[in-house]
Structure 1
Amino acid sequence: MKKCMVLLVLGLASYVTFISIIKQNDFDSKSYDVRIINGFSNNSSLPLVIWCESEYSGDMGGRALQEHDDFSWTVKSGLWKTPLFFCTIKWDGKRKKFEAFRVTRDRYRCEKYRQCFWLVKEDGFYFSDDEVAWKKDFSWM
């Protein structure tokens, strides 16, 4: 009985220590808006085809995006929920699969406005958290 009490006290002390180290916000669920925009200057005859999926949401379906069209969704994350969304984008013989939202990467760079934007252009994929300052993340190849 005495051994059980010692284990219980040690377990409780470990739990209290763990809770004091982790910020309360890390337990809260956070939402992020993810938006992928067709930023091509002239592709009205050849749309940007996008297909997205997630390990949590499954297949989100495909879309054919004309100039300035977008595909968007909301991601919910928390301490025990680390969603990953990836999309395959095709245009004029080019094809690229990329991580549209990965919580371990994007919770920091999207934190300020809780928005993650992707602008797909002829020369590559640009990222922004405010739709003003765009940074090229990678090329098609």
Structure 2
Amino acid sequence: MTNAPKIINKVVVTALVLALAINFIHQYCFVAAKKERILYEFTTWHVYVVNGLSNNRELSVHCKSKDDDLGFHYLSAGDNFTWSFREDFFLRTVFWCDVNRDDAQAVFKVFWHDVLLFYKCMWKNCVWTLKDDGIYIKNLDHDGLDELYRNWEPAGQ
């Protein structure tokens, strides 16, 4: 009979530790996975390249990865070119675009495996807007603000 209180104490302590462990797992794995997309390898990504040029200027866009050539597209002002994909098994997927307007050009990555990029894209939508003064990524994690990513280069360089 003298061992009964010790056994009850062990059961109570074990139950408490188990409850705390379950709470921890729920709090930091499932909730965090939903918020921060820990399971991003299952994410379907969407990339948008938007013509934000003024004066109704047309934009030539040619995007590709090592495995996929998405072809040439000509975008009128306000139009966009978009595609969807999942990262490869080894998380090495990279897409880049070669863009041209009448007096300038640029080649830049639009998707690569990078957590900072993933936050800006809110773990699913990477929006690139090409404006008169440069190439911008929409930071969906910060109220959708456009952040300058790079400048245009003069055509022919």
TM-score by length of 2: 0.64
1:51 to 59, 62, 69: 62
Aligned mates of 1:124, 1:75 — CA distance in 2:
26
Cα gap change, 1:88 to 1:80, in 2 (>3 Å): same
Shift of 1:107: 2.8
**Counterparts in 2 of 1:30 and 1:94: CA distance versus 1, 3 Å:** same
**Structure 2 partner of 1:133:** 145
Deviates more, 1:59-68 or 1:121-130: 121-130
Is the partner of 1:106 in helix, strand or coil? helix
**Where does residue 30 of structure 1 map in the other structure?**
43
Unaligned runs of 5+ residues in structure 2 are: 1-28
* Structure with the higher strand share, 1 or 2: 1
Cross-structure match for 2:109: 99
Matched AA of 2:72: G
Rg comparison, structure with higher value: 2
In the comparison of the two structures, how many residue pairs are matched? Answer: 115
| Superimposed CA distance per residue, residues 72-104 of structure 1 (whole angstroms, 9 cap, x where no aligned partner) | 011312652321001000011311110011122
> What is the alpha-carbon distance in structure 2 between the residues aligned to residue 113 and residue 27 of structure 1?
7
For 2:88 and 2:120, how far apart are their aligned partners in 1? Answer: 16
Shift of 1:50: 0.5
Q: Using a 3 Å threshold, how does the CA distance of structure 1 residues 121 and 27 change in structure 2: closer, same or farther? A: closer
Alignment correspondent of 1:42: 55
- Percent identity between matched residues is 25
Do the aligned partners of 2:45 and 2:86 also contact (CA within 8 Å) in 1? yes
Question: What secondary structure sits across from 2:144 in the alignment?
Answer: coil
TM-score, normalized by length of structure 1?
Answer: 0.71
Return the structure number with greater helix share: 2
For 1:81-140, what per-residue CA distance to the aligned partner results, in whole angstroms no more than 9, with x for missing partners?
321001000011311110011122533432x35111011011001111438311111110
- Tell me the SS of whatever aligns to 1:134: strand
CA distance in 2, matches of 1:132, 1:59: 29
CA distance in 2 between counterparts of 1:27 and 1:89 reads: 28
Q: What amino acid is the match of 2:62?
A: W
